[in-house]
Structure 1
Amino acid sequence: MKSTFNRRDFLKTASLGTLSALAAGAPLSGFLASCKGSVQSTADTVILLWMAGGMAHTETFDPKLYTPFEKGLDSNKVLSTFKSIPTVLDGINFSEGLESIAGLMDKGTLIRSYVAADLGHILHSRHQYHWHTCYEPPQTVAAPHIGSWIAQELGPKNPVIPAFINIGQRMTVGEAEELKAFHTAGFLGSEFGPFMIPDPSSGLDAVKPPPGMSFSRFERRNQLYSELLNNNPIGEYGSDYQKESFKRSMEQAYALLKSPEAKAFDLTEEPKESYSIYNTGKFGLGCLMAKRLVEQGARFISVTSEYEPFMGWDTHENGHTRAKDMKKLIDAPIAQLIKDLDKSGHLDRTLIILASEFSRDMVMEGRPGAEVLHQVDQPDVINDIKNYGMHRHFTDGCSVLMFGGGIKKGSVYGKTSDERPCKTIEKPIRVERIHQSIYHALGIDPQKHAIVEGRPFYTTPDGVHKAELELFI
């Protein structure tokens, strides 16, 4: 049976879960089951480069037979709309427009067999929720973001740098409430939630008092807010645990505001030559900020190309042209980020992951055996350039890149078919194993969990999933 779950249903259940978490928080003592130190780590820091909107694997890191545009093309015969280019790995090609990253694949691993979940009618925000929390929505409690689990378990590397920083996603665009549902620490508490930098070009504003407010006035307001929290009875503004967590988050933000490390958020401090390489747009500058934050001791950083419906990688039409433009935004800054961290010696202990919620295909919506309602009208015969590209959501073959942090160098994991549908045919890997591989690199035990409403809530469902050790050196 096909699911009829929609955005409104998702929003209702996500909001209920958030409220439940705020109301039901238990005391910190006995709340969290820590297994820190039971696994030897290969990384201290994580950078997630999030290709929001559905990046087509056949148009990026897993190209197939190239078919140039001409009127009268049979949609079913178009597998890739870009030429293949060689990487530094023999026999491994990328698609045209990713030359800079292709030149660095001897430093990382390419996964070609990520399989996204079957969640019924495909919604970006639902699949993004699943990827970032590892739990399928809806949930009766607010599931923490992977960055929040890491922040809670390992804490900040540098006491004044937030342990979890999210760069590039505004919460004022379409599906904003659904995006907020997973940009949260959930029941772990506000202190482990993301420090949001919607626009890296004005990142310094995030660590300053609001415009028009003096520092002394900001200090006084912060003091009054703390007093307000202290003087209200338990339960009036959430549980005692959640109030204490929120208070600590305010104290951490205040410490950052006064610290010299706040300059890491000021991109005008970057040398001109370096800045110009990264300056391809908001995503590129986000990569630059990530580099600067790693150097200052950040723990988990997410840099997103930003999800906004029908923008960016959300290619419902003009797929070829849009993918071409997106590759111009990501290729140089991602490559430079890897080079800079390698040169400074940080790459060995920094795990970089590039991923997307699912892939795309010109014909199929969903995957073989689990097709869902088509959301894009794709003609059988292409006569207009706007129909040339990957416009439908595809979940059975996605590409993920991993660099640093103990990951193998010059390796390829998994394989997809060279014929439509270009589905995974070797070593399928799902989000649970991706998450456990990240936790493994950081030395976080796979049994890490919290006790919520008297039950264990694991970092990955049921606590049964394991890391994919083949990805590691």
Structure 2
Amino acid sequence: MRLDWKRRDFLKKTSAAAMATMGMGAPLGGLLSSCQSGTNIPSTADSVILLYMAGGMAHTETFDPKKYTPFRKGMESKEVLSTFPGVPTALDGIEFSEGLENIGKIIDRGTLIRSYVAADLGHILHTRHQYHWHTCYEPPQSVLVPHIGSWIAKELGPLNPVIPPFININQRFTVGEGEELKAFHSAGFLGSEYGPFLIPDPTAGLDSVRPPVGMSSKRFEARNELYEKLVQESAMGEFGSDYQKESLKRSMEQAYALLNSPEAKAFDFSQEPKEKYDIYNTGRFGLGCLMAKRLVDQGARFISVTTEYEPFVGWDTHENGHTRLVDMKKMIDNPIAQLVKDLDESGRLDRTMIIVASEFSRDMLTEGRPGAQVKDQVEVPDIIEDLKNYGMHRHFTDGCSILMFGGGIKRGHVYGKTADERPCKSIEKPIKIDSIHQTIYHALGIDPETNYEIEKRPFYTTPDGHGVAEMELFA
């Protein structure tokens, strides 16, 4: 069917908008030379699964519980450090918060970090801290900064040529702060072929690799050919360099190859045994963990599974902190534990690094951190009369928990410590995001000096290349 000129013009503009959204609406002329130190780093991991607790997971309510104070009307808010009792884990003397018993049973297969410190970015906004966590750079930046998954995709490429090297599961962009979320779900200057293959809903996973309902394969192929032609037409030149256009073309070819490959079965949950499926099936996050396992089996390089950030939903507990976390723990406890067990039992955990993290923690009283407190965003009464005020509702950046499993990471190790009394801040071995990122890169064998010349200056995987891997975390 011949397109009329108005429709063709619309498609061109739509394609250009898509390019800009994916980090291709230049002022950049394209990717320049890559520089490395030449250091040969033996890798301990081939794949990474990032399980992201979007919205601010309180450390004192999850993996670093403090003194438990049960709810009672008339209690003082300053009494409350943890609203759940601690429960034993597989490590002697280490407790997790009630509701995370299954993860506690497998923590002897990984490392518990109790001293992650988030950055001071002024007035706390979740998407600013999430941008910082995922890119290692504080916003705003003068260039389009790649996500850590994009750096890994660029430096190592796919393990399996038909599986996209960077897959993002569960985050939609139709929710609040969608444009801010898009800002770090990007390969930036590296090019679209290294950007995330987006799966907003794992329950509809096969739809991500199928033509739209009602579209014949012949029509789908024709549309794909038209889109490739539009990318190459001269009218697109103003929106991106030849490098960026070629990168977009390769990303389209990658998706098309997956569509026609046997590996597409990774998206088909009907092939999973029912008893295993039922363990993972706690909702979209749990099934995202199941999809991550299936994709690693097929040779995925980097997978992010998020509980999804949506303002005032999930871990973003501005009120009803205690009751909200009862449900959040049910969502994550079985799937995370089962993912670790399944990969361990299959032998894949040795070369697959799993990370459980959040942008920052929460506290009843402190907004920000001691010495760098910021404007309160939540009113917390001095005397608690209502259950909705019982919980960790303010943003706390000075003590957060991270779990790491596999990929050369120590088993049964605890790193760092937070104070037992408020403020429950990091008091031993504080670790920041540049060290976390460089630790991941080190496991994958990526040179710490890796950088590209952008706007006539080197741009490193961590700011100015100063990130240092924390070697104590490795076995």
TM-score class, shorter: over 0.9
With structure 2 as the length reference, what TM-score do the two structures score?
Answer: 0.94
- In structure 2, the residue matched to 1:325 is 327
| TM-score for the superposition, normalised by structure 1 | 0.94
Q: Quick check: 1:413 aligned with 2:422?
A: no
Matching residue of 1:47 = 49
Q: What is the CA–CA distance in structure 2 between the aligned matches of 1:433 and 1:19, rounded to whole Å?
A: 27
Per the alignment, residue 250 of structure 2 pairs with: 248
Question: Could you tell me which residue of structure 2 aligns to residue 283 of structure 1?
Answer: 285
- Paired residues for 1:21-420 under 5 Å: 22-26=25-29, 30-33=32-35, 38-232=40-234, 235-420=237-422
State the identity %. Answer: 73
**SS, match of residue 366 in structure 2:** coil
| Alpha-carbon distance in 2 for matches of 1:455, 1:319 | 45
Instruction: Provide Cα deviations, 1:153-181, integer angstroms capped at 9, x if missing partner.
Output: 00000000000000010110000000000
The answer for unaligned runs of 5 or more in structure 1 is: 1-14
The secondary structure found in structure 2 opposite 1:306 is coil
Conserved? CA contact 1:22–1:242, under 8 Å: no
* 408-417 or 32-41, larger mean C-alpha shift: 32-41
State the AA in 2 paired with 1:290. A
Describe the shift of the 1:209–1:34 C-alpha distance in structure 2 as closer, same or farther (beyond 3 A): farther
Distance 1:221 1:172 in 2: 25
Tell me how far 1:237 sits from its aligned partner: 3.2
Once residues 422 and 131 of structure 2 are traced to their aligned partners in structure 1, the CA distance between those partners, rounded to angstroms, is 28
1:110/1:401 contact within 8 Å kept: yes
- Offset, 1:49: 0.2
- Counterpart CA distance in 2 for 1:177 and 1:140 is 17
For 1:58 and 1:407, locate their aligned partners in 2 and report how far apart those are by CA, in whole Å: 24
Distance 1:18 1:318 in 2: 35
CA gap of 1:35–1:352, structure 2 versus 1, over 3 A, is: farther
Q: Map Cα deviations across residues 180-224 of structure 1 (whole Å, 9 max, x no partner).
A: 000000000000000000000001000001122111111111112
Q: Quote the Cα distance in structure 2 between the aligned partners of 1:290 and 1:37.
A: 31
Is structure 2 residue 435 aligned with structure 1 residue 459?
A: no
Which whole-Å CA distance do the structure 2 matches of 1:234 and 1:319 have between them? 49
Given that 1:24 and 1:453 are in contact with CA atoms closer than 8 Å, whether structure 2 keeps it comes out as: no
Give the whole-Å Cα distance in 1 for the aligned partners of 2:39 and 2:216.
Answer: 44
Task: Report if aligned partners of 2:23, 2:191 keep a CA contact under 8 Å in 1.
Answer: no
Partner of 1:9: none
Residues 352 and 404, structure 1, Cα contact 8 Å, conserved in 2: yes
SS in 2 for 1:219: helix
C-alpha distance 222-19 of structure 1, shift in aligned 2 (>3 A): closer
Q: Is the 8 A contact 1:44 1:442 kept in 2?
A: yes
Residues 113-143 of structure 1 show CA distances to partners (whole Å, capped at 9, x for unaligned) of 0000000000000000000000000001110
Check the 8 A contact 1:21/1:141 in 2, yes or no.
no
The Cα offsets for residues 211-251 of structure 1, whole Å up to 9 and x where unpaired, read as 22111111111112222223326733311111110000000
Farther-moved stretch of structure 1 (17-26 vs 255-264): 17-26
Seen in structure 2, the aligned counterparts of structure 1 residues 375 and 208 have a Cα distance that, compared at 3 Å, is: same
How far is 1:18 from its partner?
6.8
Where 2:139 maps in the other structure, the secondary structure is coil
3-state SS, counterpart of residue 72 of structure 2: coil
Q: Which letter maps to 1:49?
A: L
C-alpha distance in structure 2 between counterparts of 1:211 and 1:139, whole Å: 40
Partner SS for 1:235: helix
What is the Cα-based RMSD across aligned positions, in Å? 1.5
Give the conservation status (yes or no) of the 8 Å contact 1:109–1:410. Answer: yes
Q: CA deviation at 1:33?
A: 3.0
Residue number in structure 1 paired with 2:445: 443
Aligned length: 457
- Could you tell me which amino acid in structure 1 is paired with residue 432 of structure 2? R
What runs of 5+ residues in structure 2 fail to find an aligned partner?
1-17
Secondary structure class of the residue paired with 1:128? helix
